[in-house]
Amino acid sequence: MTTFVGTRAVRSMKGVRTMKLSKMFLASVAIALCVTCILPQLAAADGGATYKAKCAGCHGADGAGKVGPALKGTSMSADQIAAFLTKGDDAKKAPHKKAITGLSADDAKSVAEYVKTLK
């Protein structure tokens, strides 16, 4: 038995296939946009968690200062803060004479970005 597929049916099948590809492409673009929008916020959230675990004891949970100086509204840039955390400074008091232990460069950058949000 032979089945005849008309031109319309073939065109319709191509249209369905094109539509599926279009939907997959749009879904991929939407996911990529969501990821690029969410990742910086997650980094800041991680910076906040790291700050609370390693810095808030001396600098206060809101950066207003306790034993250590206030960080709220600091004039240092995020890059300067990150470098300070990863390298230390001999002119400063402990623990900032040396790099903060257990803090990677990425963690330091996240903490620095979080500190810059403190107002």
Domain edges within the chain: 7-117
**Is 88:97 a contact under the CB 8 Å cutoff?**
yes
Q: Which CATH superfamily is domain 7-117 in?
A: Cytochrome c-like domain (1.10.760.10)
Write out pLDDT tens, residues 66-90.
Answer: 999 999 999 999 999 999 999 988 8
Write out pLDDT tens, residues 8-65.
Answer: 555 566 666 777 888 888 888 888 877 777 665 555 558 899 999 999 999 999 999 9
Quick one: 40 exposed, middle or buried, by C-beta within 10 A (0-12, 13-18, 19+)? exposed
Write out pLDDT tens, residues 7-19.
Answer: 555 556 666 677 7
